[in-house]
Chains A and B, each alone.
Chain A
Amino acid sequence: MKNIIRLLSIYLVLFSISESALAEAYCALRDPVETINRLYPSSTSYKSIVKVINEDVRRTVGQTLPPNSLHFSELGKHTLYVVMQSDQPLGYVHVRSEQSEWGLVEIAWAINLDLTARDFRFQRCRSRYKNIVEHSDFRTQLIGRNYRQLADLFIQDSLRLDTAKIAIDDSARALAEVVVRSGMKTLLVTELGWRAEVKQNSFLYNAKKYFEHVSRIEILQSPIDDLVIEKLNTVFSAGHPGTGWSGVDAAKVVGFDGATIGVLYRNTLALDNGIETLQWTIAADGTIVNIDNLDGWSSPLTRAAFQNNLGQVLNSVDQCSDRAALFTLEASTVVSVLLEARAK
């Protein structure tokens, strides 16, 4: 009896210092090698990045994606696999599990570097409808979609897929809904949990998309400084377009010869669909190479307004006929200071 009481006391102490853990021993962990090979046939290797998915991430997911909070077994340390071809990242594989009536459904998501869905594969699914949902007829409807575009597949304010937007056999609809929700959650958790790595790779991906001979990118820390503000005040002497600076990110694109090819500049703006992140790709000579909405353009008119500025070099308010041009002038102004200041 004394032994039992002593044991119970020890375990009570242990429980009191509890934090999230994995009930199974770590030898049960296996890299999804076969899945990585299937999802990225041209890959040569992969690189694991282990991060803690904590209560903060859980809370954000719960607020952004109700009622899809993370269940407690999804907290703790998780691995994002960066799939490589030689020394260049091709994309990610992130395995997450969803509770379902058939037990936990474990889905390996292949994610592009711009955080769009590339493909998926069931790691574990005990549903009889698995083959229907894993068939290319369904999978191809998800490829290339970002978080918002996956969310658009649901009937507004419901957890039901809108069959006018996505085709799925009625019998497999419940499993398909689990998969699409898992896709949204996986993209969101990847962005929140691996923010620095995702940012780095996303800039690299976009740099290679719009420039040739890219060797690397360099993230520019704290891009908005006194010099930038001073220059903006000069350029926008009659009034600023009204963007904030909390969403600003920038990266310098460097070529194989070590010269700066251009800058990728991101900021958040209030557009048609709420707060959206835009990315300006600006060459070293100030030419606007491209303007992307990283959340996806919701209006062709807005997209056209921004893309009217492509190929131009903006340095004065007089060149701007609309808000899209003013926002672009602001981006160009910041980039011009960054190129000058950081080159010194």
Chain B
Amino acid sequence: MAPRHLLLHKVLPPLSALCLASILPLSALALEWRDNLRAKLDASSRAVHASDLAETGFQHAFGLDMHKVFSGDKGDIGTLILQGYITRINNMQRRPGFFEHPDDTEFVYRIFNFNYTGLGRKLPNIRVGHLEIPYGLEATIPSNGTLRQYQLPRNIGIKADWGFGLNKQHTGFEYDVSLTSGGGQQIERRDGSYVFAARVGTPRDENLSVGVSVYKSELNGLVRERVGVDARYYRGLIGWFAELSAGENAGNDIFNGLLEWNRRNARENTLLYLQLAYFSEAGALRETATQAIAGIKYEPTNSLTLSAQAVTDVDTYRSAESKNTLSVQVRYRF
């Protein structure tokens, strides 16, 4: 893609919106806008080396992470989260679908939505925008921009999407339901795509929390259905997470699972985790794949995060080749 086209059509429009949001403090609404506003620039670089590829791939992201709570006389009205990142990949052979080439630049929306919370204690909050799909463990763990992930794209085909949802924390349980376009980074539906997801769980602050999720989508002509259960248990500095999903991909039976063991230090600036991910699909034949993942995240300061992760294919679907992948990332927020 020509640099001029890229600049005009991909980078400038969203960047202008973010800049507008940033310069609002200079306007007459300055004081009100600054109230309850958090904003940080967020820069990260990641190197990914896969054993089956000759060259290392890189991903650099630079963006604004903004969080603003709107309040009225009687309480909070809603929360606006804007996270937009100019993301450059170099030689990234395995990449999300919205990157067209191994060397590409895109403006990537992460979480970019408004959650209206002004309906009182009982009625749901209404979220509109680019939101995280409420399914399984991923919905309860902040994994945005980190190496540590919970296999959501591989399991259900998408991680975040444009649309709307209802959510609420009640005493003893919380829920999150969303209906989105299936466009991923694009607001428009693609060939009748849609994504419906819902998760109900016990409060995630407890040492033991469990959730049940349901999911149905049509993405690129493939219909997926899932029912999932997830659980998190903490004891001292150790955590155990588990997720099981069952369902169908275009009529083929699917059974996926994930188990994580993690340990933090007492200061909680270092996290070590081990994951075992299992995938199974029964078409004409039953195929299974297993991945073992080990990772570490270290935060030497409040601003800096260093992470590394190794992924090994223990077992793959027949058509796929086993590989080992090593990723390292440095992330800085200021």
Contact = CB atoms under 8 A, between A and B. Distances in A.
On whether the two chains bind one another, the answer is yes
Interface in A14-45: 14-15, 17-35, 37-38, 43-45
Contacts of A48: 36, 69, 71, 76
B99 interface: no
A33 B123 CA distance: 13
Nearest to A130: B207
Given A25-B83, A28-B144, A50-B35, A18 B303 contact: yes
Interface stretch (A98-106, A141-149, A262-270): A98-106
B302 A26 contact: no
B122 to A, nearest CB: 10
Contacts of A76: 302
A18 B81 contact: no
B264 A33 contact: no
Nearest to A127: B236
B216 interface: no
30 contacts: A11-B45, A11-B330, A11-B332, A14-B43, A18-B301, A20-B303, A21-B333, A23-B299, A23-B302, A23-B303, A25-B83, A25-B142, A25-B144, A26-B65, A26-B81, A27-B132, A31-B79, A34-B169, A34-B174, A44-B74, A45-B75, A45-B120, A47-B76, A49-B36, A50-B37, A79-B69, A87-B74, A102-B236, A106-B205, A126-B235
B43 A34 contact: no
Interface of A: 3, 7, 10-11, 14-15, 17-35, 37-38, 43-50, 72-73, 75-77, 79, 84, 86-87, 99-104, 106, 122-128, 130
Contact of B237 (A34, A103, A106): A103
Given A44-B120, A102-B266, A25 B42 contact: yes
Interface string B302-334: 111100000000000000000000000011111
B81 A75 contact: no
Given A26-B65, A27-B142, A48-B69, A21 B75 contact: no
B40 interface: yes
Contacts, number: 158
A261 B331 CA distance: 57
B36 A99 contact: no
Contact of B334 (A17, A33, A38, A75): A17
Nearest to A84: B75
Contact of B170 (A14, A37, A43, A103): A37
B234 A86 contact: no
B251 interface: no
Nearest to A74: B302
Given A23-B303, A45-B74, A15 B171 contact: no
B226 interface: no
A330 to B, nearest CB: 37
Closest 5 CB pairs of A and B: A45-B75, A28-B142, A26-B67, A33-B169, A27-B111
Nearest to A82: B75
Nearest to A29: B67
Given A26-B38, A87-B74, A126-B207, A99 B267 contact: yes
A62 to B, nearest CB: 18
B332 A20 contact: no
Contacts of A28: 142, 144
Contact of B76 (A20, A24, A46): A46
A15 B170 contact: no
Contacts of A35: 205
B145 interface: yes
B37 A34 contact: no
Interface in B245-279: 264-268
B199 interface: no
B144 A103 contact: no
Interface string B26-67: 000000000111101011010000000000001010000111
A111 to B, nearest CB: 17
B102 interface: no
Nearest to B40: A21
Interface in B179-209: 203, 205, 207
A79 to B, nearest CB: 8
A25 B65 contact: yes
B203 A34 contact: yes
B266 A103 contact: yes
B110 A25 contact: yes
Given A14-B43, A50-B37, A43 B121 contact: yes
Given A27-B142, A99-B267, A14 B332 contact: yes
A26 B66 contact: yes
A124 to B, nearest CB: 6
B205 A15 contact: no
A182 to B, nearest CB: 16
A124 B332 CA distance: 26
A7 B333 CA distance: 15
Given A20-B302, A23-B333, A26-B67, 13 more contacts: A31-B117, A37-B169, A38-B171, A44-B74, A45-B118, A47-B71, A49-B36, A50-B36, A99-B266, A100-B266, A106-B205, A126-B234, A130-B207
A126 B237 contact: yes
Interface string B129-144: 0001000000000101
Contacts of B168: 33
A243 to B, nearest CB: 36
Given A48-B71, A50-B69, A126-B237, A37 B121 contact: yes
**Which of A79, A99, A100, A103 lies at the interface centre, i.e. has the most chain B CB atoms within 10 A of its CB?**
A103
B98 to A, nearest CB: 19
